[in-house]
A and B are shown apart, each in its own frame.
Chain A
Amino acid sequence: MKKIIIGMLVLLMLFTVVGAAAAQSGKYALVVKSAGNPFMEKVREGFENAISEVGGEAIYKAPAEPTVEAQIIMIEQLITQRVDAIAISANDPEALRPALQKAMSRGIKVLSLDSSVNPNSRMVHVNQADPEQIGRVQIQGIAEMIGGEGQIAVLSATSQATNQNLWIDWMKKELEKPEYDNIELVKVAYGDDLRDKSVSETEALLKSYPDLKGIIAPTTVGIAAAGKVLTDRDLVGEVYLTGLGLPSEMAEYIKNGVSPWMYLWNPIDLGYLAGYAAEGLVAEEITGEAGESFTAGDLGEKEVIKAGEGTEIMLGAPFRFDADNIDQWKEVY
């Protein structure tokens, strides 16, 4: 007990020594969904490029597991470090609100990218591509592949992934158009972004719907797992696959014809744009109001537009990867 009391005293002494905090200018933090994700590593690359161009310091934070709890802790650590801006790809659109509002109340500029947070917890969102466009273009793609008729299915990530759910909603709206009357969406399956589960879900789709013509997988792990299953079963030309995937993961399946083409945006540009948007906010060049514009380095002039309740900055249209261009991209990301 005595020792503990002594320890406490030592601690108290430590407490009283207040560390002098020299405020540096220009600290920009990027918080991503989780570590070990090549897409996010490329976003980081772009972000760091932009920040070094404007002469600031970039901080990269990636939780070991993709949980919102871990992201909250990281935001608190960033508040303590007195960063100037936080750019975040959220694991949950709503649950970061208290943490991000606390950051904003301390004068930190908050923006989201890739996976957004709700408008009241951010100043602006950097959108890789319009969700409506992403949803619709995948239906258009699969319709072209299967010749306008037949059964299709969606293999998504987790059932609560906000991005995916939004895209799937737009897919369903696109399917209401009369030209898709002969296309039937039979099931939305969830592979939870796990390899093994995505594989068994794909196999279950093939068995439950023997006439299945096409699969849309708007998620990196899912599309690669589906590509693997279709390749192993030699279903090239019988069941078509498209969706959103990493070029490196999909190179094999685009070249063997399982997936004639698929879509994604350029993560480096996404990070780059987010970096410049953060700088714009910090320099008070923009405030996140619709109608403002700023120069995003090599990307040129970008405009803040209204989106739902909040505002966003659009990167561009989703990029189409096919057999002709995949080789130059597979090494990149």
Chain B
Amino acid sequence: MENKLEKGLTFNRKIKAEKEFNLKDFFLQWEWLLLLIFIAIHIMNSQLSPYYLNTYTLLDATMTFLDKAFIALSMTFVIIFGDIDISVGSTVALSSVIMAVLYNAGLSMPLAIIVCLLVGITAGFINGILIVKFKELSAVIVTLSTMILYRGIAYIILEDQAAGGFPMWFNFLGWGYIKNLIPVILIAFSVAAVIFYLLLHKTTFGRKIYAIGNNDIASLFSGVKVDKIKLIVFTLNGFMAALAALFLTSKMGSTRPNIASGYELDVIAMVVLGGVSTSGGKGRMIGVLLSIFIIGYLRYGLGLVNVPSQVILIIIGALLIISVLVSNLLYGNKSE
């Protein structure tokens, strides 16, 4: 029977005998822990800096980290599959560069924005199609190659130049406020977060994502179109990268081929700290959202008291490891 299962099927995914019984409890607890960290960080920050604890600062701070967070939403789906996409930083750069170049060539800004999103979709689709068509290749390899390739194309297009000069209203995305208080990006992100939350937890699409992450061969047998869903998710990831590109480009007012380098690791860290396991099948949107704000506020707060950035590096790294370590020790080892 096992042999039959293996034959003619995707083979690079592990079949896991997942114990479902106390999974839910585990995740509730994990997110509880995150919430504690989240609160602790706010208490610590407000002790450290007199400028931290007021509505204005707390809202304003979100402008510094929410651009990457868009990608974390869709990356959550990718990682629940047990896959990974490290090409997102390059996708941000490529879509941003193409948008700026087309705008400078005379395209109207709304059209340029649409092209930007299309570029992201295409980049994600290419990743997806390669991963689906060549099951021998893992997502790491495919997106590693396209990571180098996409950024390379951005360099070919813009070489050592910067492009920008966008219309004033475009600034609004990255710098604008609603009612002079709430950053536009926070509102946009909240909308996106709600959509992704519903998508993952309240739709059959979301359930299928978990099913594939847990056991894609079994999902295939139970009629889930694994390839199609994977393709959609990777395309979605490209789209979200392009969306992040819009906000980042607006923030900088101009763009270059070297923007957003290293974003992939930041995004993966956000997702993983949120309790999404890279071995697939596990994790919830709430955890990821908490972890986005934990990392963001931690960085911002430490920056506010001018802690050297290398110390912040150590703290973030240690936080990542210790939180996973604690969860492993408290709640037993992960799967397998």
Contacts and interface: CB of A to CB of B under 8 A. Distances in A.
Please tell me whether chains A and B touch each other in their complex, using a CB distance cut-off of 8 A.
yes
Interface of A: 3-4, 7, 10-11, 14-15, 17-22, 35-36, 59-65, 67-70, 72-74, 76-77, 80-82, 92-99, 102, 158-160, 165
B306 A60 contact: yes
B35 A18 contact: no
Contacts of A63: 309
Q: Which A-B residue pairs are the 8 nearest by beta carbons?
A: A95-B252, A19-B53, A159-B160, A160-B160, A77-B303, A7-B35, A64-B309, A18-B54
27 contacts: A14-B46, A15-B55, A18-B55, A22-B50, A35-B310, A60-B306, A62-B309, A64-B310, A64-B313, A68-B252, A72-B252, A76-B63, A76-B64, A77-B300, A81-B51, A81-B304, A92-B162, A92-B252, A94-B164, A95-B252, A95-B254, A97-B253, A98-B174, A98-B251, A98-B253, A158-B258, A159-B160
Contacts of B42: 11, 14
A80 B57 contact: yes
B261 A67 contact: yes
B110 interface: no
Contact of B254 (A35, A64, A94): A94
B35 A4 contact: yes
Contact of B310 (A3, A36, A81, A160): A36
Contacts of A14: 39, 42-43, 46, 53
A36 B310 CA distance: 9
A19 B52 contact: yes
Contacts of A35: 308-310
Nearest to A156: B160
Given A22-B50, A82-B51, A102 B162 contact: no
Of B39, B43, B65, B253, most A-chain CB atoms within 10 Å: B253
Contacts of A158: 160, 258
A156 to B, nearest CB: 10
B259 interface: yes
B162 A95 contact: yes
B134 to A, nearest CB: 31
Interface string B281-311: 0000010000000000001100110101110
Contacts of A64: 309-310, 312-313
A168 to B, nearest CB: 11
B330 interface: no
Contacts, number: 136
Interface in B75-96: none
Interface of B: 28, 31-32, 35, 38-39, 42-43, 46, 49-55, 57-58, 60-61, 63-65, 159-162, 164, 171, 174-175, 248, 251-262, 286, 299-300, 303-304, 306, 308-310, 312-313
Contacts of B257: 160
Contacts of A59: 306
B258 A160 contact: yes
B218 to A, nearest CB: 29
A3 B32 contact: yes
Contacts of A36: 310
Nearest to A79: B60
Nearest to A7: B35
A70 B256 contact: no
A97 to B, nearest CB: 5
Nearest to B59: A15
A242 B171 CA distance: 43
